[in-house]
């Protein structure tokens, strides 16, 4: 009996120690300077706190967090838990962060971020990552004139002042950097080692005087260029980083360049920067079973290889609008304040036969497919004018069968004529239309495609093979 009591006491002590074991956290955000969006799927972010005290031994992980397919783009918050009992105040601990996409390493930190001991923090840590595997060849950007589009801190970039042009050119012969800072011409020397860029010595310039705003912009630009530390070409843009600042350039258009720009999307691997949204539904729609979803997905059309953009929603308001959209700008070759004729074509996969009946209308003919091209970003904004708080689109799409100032009706979600009402397989339905639109002062346009539903029930649509041609209108 005595032995049994001793055994029970030992078990109680073990349980007590286990329950009282403390947990501490290291918190902060993960970010990077490149203007690259993470895809909606296949993303794995690994955040570790490591014991890096010994240079002659592998780092020891004392805490780790795995973040899969984060809901937001960078900065992405993290919280790594660890046992304070594992910490020795004499040792050194640091962060190690990796972002992988489909098993391939995209970003990692190359700088040391000390934590916990030696006066280092455990909260509000900003880990800035570097892009992996995108070393810029000198051939990619030398002997080309680049025009500055925007500058400042990543996530808070500002456009170049209207009616000013800032340029840079890296001349391979002699290693000279030259250009216009908006008012004055400038000149200097540079060195390149892989992605590492350095301006050798002070940059010289002419001494012209211009309006105050232009001179302030010029000084900010020259300061950032002088402090350049790296260069990267991504999606046709030249990005020069200097500390917390980034300069984003586009290639200068040649006088004899084609006036027509074409972009085609088959979505073989991801959403290719298309995003989705919803409007004309309550802000509290999750409580009402609207079941809205946008994502990149395989398309269930027989013989189809690859994916597309899935939109689905369960309409309860007799007026649900689902849409996909993409931004186009100077990085795509568009010019500010310029009129374009736009030809849009796409395929929509639907499984709804024609002639079906439903609550509020047909699940095919009462779901109206619309499209438009606008120079403001379409966004669902909260509206309380009707009493209950709803999301409403900030552009004029019209309502159901009627088009609006910014979007027109192209057709409906029913399969083509001749489809059997007993056939619920998905089939492609093509759409095509022409538009005219003028870019804003930043050279931006948004293409938007959507479904305006008068059918009260579930709609599931896939969009694929989107082709857009921009033809500049010349006087």
Helices (H), 192-335: 212-226
Give the model's pLDDT for residue 6.
56
Q: State mean pLDDT over 315-324.
A: 83
- Provide CB contacts within 8 A for 318, sequence distance 6+: 360, 454, 456
Give the residue from 216, 244, 46, 20 showing the smallest Cα distance to 128: 244
* Most confident residue range from 249-253, 325-329, 452-456: 325-329
Pairing type for strands 367-374 and 260-265 reads unpaired
Residue 105 CB neighbours (<10 A) = 12
Q: Which of helix, strand or coil describes residue 331?
A: helix
Q: Are 141 and 233 in contact (CB under 8 A)?
A: yes
Q: How far apart are CA 473 and CA 475, in angstroms?
A: 7
- Binned at pLDDT 50, 70 and 90, residue 19 comes out as very low
Give the SS3 label for residue 139. helix
pLDDT class for 282, splitting at 50, 70, 90? Answer: confident
pLDDT interval class at 20 (50, 70, 90): very low
pLDDT score of 18 more than 50 = no
Beta bridge partners of 343: 434, 469
Interval 360-387: pLDDT, tens = 778 888 899 999 999 999 998 888 876 7
pLDDT digits (tens, 9 = 90+) for 47-96: 999 988 765 456 789 999 999 999 888 899 999 999 999 999 988 899 99
With beta carbons less than 8 A apart as the criterion, state whether 320 and 281 touch.
yes
CA distance 447 to 375: 9
- State the DSSP code for 135: P
What tens digit of pLDDT does each residue of 399-424 get? 888 889 999 999 999 987 777 777 88
Closest CA relative to residue 278, chosen from 63, 459, 85, 106: 459
Dihedral sign from CA coordinates of 194, 196, 200, 206: positive
Widest pairwise Cα distance in the chain: 103
Quick one: what percent of the chain has pLDDT higher than 90?
Answer: 40
pLDDT at 389 over 80: yes
Confirm if 473 and 308 have CB atoms less than 8 A apart.
no
Dist CA 228 CA 160 (whole Å): 19
DSSP letter for each residue of 389-445: -EEEESS---BTTB--SS-EEEEESSPPTT--TT---BEEEEEEEEEEEE--TT--E
Mean pLDDT score of the chain, rounded to an integer? 84
Q: Quick count: other Cβ atoms within 10 Å of Cβ 358?
A: 16
Query: What's the pLDDT tens digit per position in 27-48?
Result: 999 998 765 667 778 899 999 9
Q: How many CA atoms lie within 13 A of 8 on its CB side?
A: 5
Average pLDDT over residues 431-440: 92
Dump pLDDT digits (tens) for 211-225. Answer: 999 999 999 999 999
Identify the pLDDT of residue 257: 47
Q: Rounded to the nearest 5°, which phi and psi values hold at 226? A: -60, -35
3-state secondary structure of 214: helix
pLDDT at 269: 83
Please indicate, yes or no, whether the overall pTM of this predicted structure exceeds 0.85: no
What per-residue confidence (pLDDT) applies to 384? 80
Residues 394, 396, 400: CA angle, nearest 5 degrees: 115
Is the preceding omega at residue 389 within 30 degrees of 0, hence cis?
no
Among residues 276, 291, 456, the alpha carbon closest in space to that of 379 is found at: 276
């Amino acid at each position: 009996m005595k032995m049994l009591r001793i055994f029970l006491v030992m078990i109680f002590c073990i349980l007590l120690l286990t329950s009282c074991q403390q947990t501490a956290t290291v918190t902060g955000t993960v970010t990077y300077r490149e203007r690259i969006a993470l895809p909606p799927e296949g993303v794995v972010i690994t955040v570790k706190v490591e014991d890096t005290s010994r240079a002659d031994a592998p780092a020891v992980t004392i805490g780790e967090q795995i973040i899969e397919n984060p809901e937001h783009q960078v900065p992405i918050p993290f919280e790594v838990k660890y046992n304070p009992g594992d910490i020795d105040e004499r040792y050194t601990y640091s962060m190690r962060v990796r972002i992988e996409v489909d098993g391939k390493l995209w970003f990692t930190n190359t700088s040391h971020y000390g934590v916990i001991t030696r006066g280092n923090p455990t909260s509000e840590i900003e880990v800035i990552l570097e892009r992996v595997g995108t070393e810029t060849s000198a051939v990619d950007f030398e002997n080309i004139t680049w025009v500055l589009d925007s500058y400042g801190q990543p996530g808070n970039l500002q456009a170049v002042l209207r009616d000013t042009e800032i340029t840079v050119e890296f001349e391979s012969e002699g290693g000279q950097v030259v250009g216009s800072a908006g008012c004055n011409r400038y000149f200097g020397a540079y060195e390149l080692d892989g992605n590492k860029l350095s301006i050798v010595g002070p940059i010289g310039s002419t001494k012209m005087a211009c309006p105050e705003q232009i001179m302030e912009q010029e000084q900010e630009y020259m300061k950032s260029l002088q402090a350049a530390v790296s260069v990267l070409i991504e999606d046709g843009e030249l990005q020069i980083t200097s500390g917390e600042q980034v300069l984003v350039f586009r290639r200068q258009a040649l006088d004899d360049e084609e006036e027509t720009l074409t972009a085609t999307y088959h979505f073989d691997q991801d959403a290719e920067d298309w995003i989705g949204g919803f409007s004309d539904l309550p802000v509290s729609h999750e409580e009402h079973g609207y079941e809205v979803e946008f994502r990149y997905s395989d398309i269930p059309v027989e013989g189809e290889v690859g994916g597309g953009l899935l939109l689905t929603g369960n309409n309860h308001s007799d007026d649900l609008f689902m849409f996909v959209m993409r931004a186009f700008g100077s990085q795509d070759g568009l010019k500010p304040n310029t009129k374009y004729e736009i030809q849009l074509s796409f395929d929509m996969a639907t499984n709804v036969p024609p002639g079906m009946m439903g609550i509020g209308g047909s699940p095919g003919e009462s779901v109206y497919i619309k499209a438009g091209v606008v120079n403001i970003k379409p966004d669902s904004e909260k509206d309380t004018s009707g009493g209950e708080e709803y999301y409403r689109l900030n552009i004029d799409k019209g309502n159901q069968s009627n088009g609006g100032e910014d979007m027109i009706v192209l057709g409906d979600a029913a399969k083509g004529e001749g489809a059997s009402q007993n056939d619920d397989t998905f089939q492609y339905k093509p759409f095509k239309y022409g538009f005219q639109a003028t870019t804003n002062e930043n050279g931006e346009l948004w293409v938007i495609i959507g479904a305006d539903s008068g059918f009260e029930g579930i709609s599931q649509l896939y969009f694929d093979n989107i082709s857009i041609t921009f033809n500049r209108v010349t006087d």
